Chain A
């Protein structure tokens, strides 16, 4: 009976998720865009959840992997390289338009390798020390993205990379609207389905990981590293694996983000972004998949929706309280209030180890 209920719930939510953009689409593409962004954040939060939630390694530089994926896609699928380097233009006269099947694995692999590289020197650190080192790592990546336009122009500096190709596969261009008979599906809706598919795959991967030996090993490390080591778990490899897997997710969502926006610049990868992703994981319920998804959707979508009520508020306070400020204010208040009322998150996992309970 219980099994049946679960199946019904899954079926209903699947149908709802599939229809959602079609309904939103009729209210305007801006709403579908919000859903798209929310899904991207879910993807990011799921990745970070592997590192923070399962393995207990607090990573405040997570956005660096997102940036690596995004720039990877930006460089491989935009006219920037051909325009900057003559030898490159000679090699690829039609410009470099790398197919999706190459970009995604490449972005994922590069981010994954970087994740392991970051993990390697920090293996001895835990908690706050790790947080501050990863934070520094994120900042280093951002400074480089900002300044690598000189003397060799690789990232185009603060101006960012533009004219990035949209995603194309099997003859389907997600950048253009799709007409089936008289029915039209807009480009953002197509992206919605792609992101949804990625999220579903990620949830399945995360769920399987959680139940696997690897997941158990991560949680053992999170609970008590010394005991885990004593039980024969190779803590070094397991931690590196967690960093690598989390970073891979970040890299993939980064390349999706670049294709979706058609533009990347260092602006999008500030520390604030990393903080937001950590906040999503922790607010929702650390280590608990439904909680993490809830946190990501809430923090990504709600402030966007609030933009629409900000107009009157802005008029009332003669322009001081515009939508961006209001958004920040609400996020900050949400972080403080939710933590004060529910320190384990909005939707915490039912069983929790001692490291996440009171000290």
Chain B
């Protein structure tokens, strides 16, 4: 029973990170119908930037409390990642908006490889330890363990989601975003500037990805230039799972995927009698995806038809 509770906690933490990244995918897909393959790399750049800044600040102000350093690093990393994502959209996606369907997908994949390579050149290819800035004494809940970092992750996710929901549902920008996602041409006739909305979407996506990246790094304790790839892929899976283009769907999909993966890899050894081990954890996401798309191609909460893509 303790194992189950522990896996649920781990799954929630993992899932909340997937949810933040999935939001970036789903917003972009909802508006311009593009799988932004470079989104995972934006997460990686954010995390690595924050790693560098934490290193610099610890040298500059040795006495500062951990959470202050984390906050400052987060703000700077968000700005860097947002600028990067803004530029990527301008350079690689915008000129191809009316091109054959595959062209922007290829530039997105190219961008993803490019960012990984550049990060490897800048930060060197080795794994770097990500500092623990919060107290590390874990709390005990009915036999399961939760660390302050994990509590922070859940808290930050909840706050980010609340802010995003407010932004999308109650502000002018949010209304413009929803309008553009519905129909860019009509939105433009109503005075919305689609280009600006799309840029804003990429910036918001980058901020969420950076936050997720920093949490991912704090949770696992390392950063490296390939760290964005798999979370990116799984987050996209989560977005499809929840119903792509649907914000609530991305959150539900992310959290469910985290839970499935965590509980699945916790029990796969026992279920299969040791034949398959937890090293198969990466395939859960894809199996779930294949089953989901076969049974309900529009995702859990989606209305769009898969055929549209």
Where the two chains meet, the residues of A that have a C-beta atom closer than 8 Å to any C-beta of B are: 52, 58, 121-122, 124-129, 131-133, 135-137, 139-140, 143-144, 146-147, 150-151, 225, 272, 275, 278-279, 282-283, 286, 320-321, 325, 328-329, 331-336, 339-340, 343-344, 355-359
Q: Is the interface of B mostly helix, strand, loop or mixed?
A: helix
Contact check, B280 vs A335: say whether CB atoms are below 8 A apart.
Answer: no
With A332-B113, A332-B114 known as contacts, the answer to whether A125 contacts B306 (CB < 8 A) is yes
Smallest distance from the beta carbon of A59 to chain B beta carbons, Å?
12
Chain B residue with minimal CB distance to A226?
B307
Q: Is the interface of A mostly helix, strand, loop or mixed?
A: helix
Residues of chain A lying within 8 A (CB to CB) of residue B282? 139, 143
Contact check, B110 vs A339: say whether CB atoms are below 8 A apart.
Answer: yes
Residues of chain A lying within 8 A (CB to CB) of residue B276? 147
Residues of chain B lying within 8 A (CB to CB) of residue A151? 274-275
Which residues 4-27 of B sit at the A interface, judged by CB distance below 8 A? Answer: none
Contact check, B237 vs A136: say whether CB atoms are below 8 A apart.
Answer: yes
The list of the 5 closest CB pairs from A to B, nearest first, reads: A335-B110, A136-B286, A127-B309, A332-B114, A343-B99
Question: A329 CA to B289 CA in the complex, in Å?
Answer: 31
Contact check, B309 vs A320: say whether CB atoms are below 8 A apart.
Answer: no
Residues of chain A lying within 8 A (CB to CB) of residue B99? 339, 343-344, 358
Question: A343 CA to B103 CA in the complex, in Å?
Answer: 6
The listed residue (B100, B113, B233, B286) touching A356 by CB distance below 8 A is B100
Contact check, A132 vs B35: say whether CB atoms are below 8 A apart.
Answer: yes
With A124-B306, A125-B293, A344-B100 known as contacts, the answer to whether A140 contacts B287 (CB < 8 A) is yes
Chain A residue with minimal CB distance to B273?
A151
Q: How large is the interface on B (under 10, 10 to 19, 20 to 34, 35 or more residues)?
A: 35 or more
Chain A residue with minimal CB distance to B289?
A136
Which residues 91-124 of B sit at the A interface, judged by CB distance below 8 A? Answer: 92, 95-96, 98-107, 109-111, 113-114, 116-118, 120-121, 124
Contact check, A132 vs B294: say whether CB atoms are below 8 A apart.
Answer: no
Contact check, A139 vs B286: say whether CB atoms are below 8 A apart.
Answer: yes
Residues of chain A lying within 8 A (CB to CB) of residue B3? none
Question: A128 CA to B236 CA in the complex, in Å?
Answer: 11
The listed residue (A126, A334, A359) touching B307 by CB distance below 8 A is A126
Check B290 for interface membership: any CB of A closer than 8 A.
yes
Contact check, B306 vs A132: say whether CB atoms are below 8 A apart.
Answer: no
Smallest distance from the beta carbon of B56 to chain A beta carbons, Å?
21
Smallest distance from the beta carbon of A33 to chain B beta carbons, Å?
24
Smallest distance from the beta carbon of A139 to chain B beta carbons, Å?
6
Question: A333 CA to B276 CA in the complex, in Å?
Answer: 40
| Residue among A129, A139, A320, A329 with max Cβ neighbours from chain B (10 Å) | A129
The listed residue (B95, B101, B294) touching A127 by CB distance below 8 A is B101
Check B174 for interface membership: any CB of A closer than 8 A.
no
Which residues 253-292 of B sit at the A interface, judged by CB distance below 8 A? Answer: 274-277, 279-280, 282-283, 285-287, 289-290
Contact check, A131 vs B105: say whether CB atoms are below 8 A apart.
Answer: yes
Contact check, A136 vs B290: say whether CB atoms are below 8 A apart.
Answer: yes
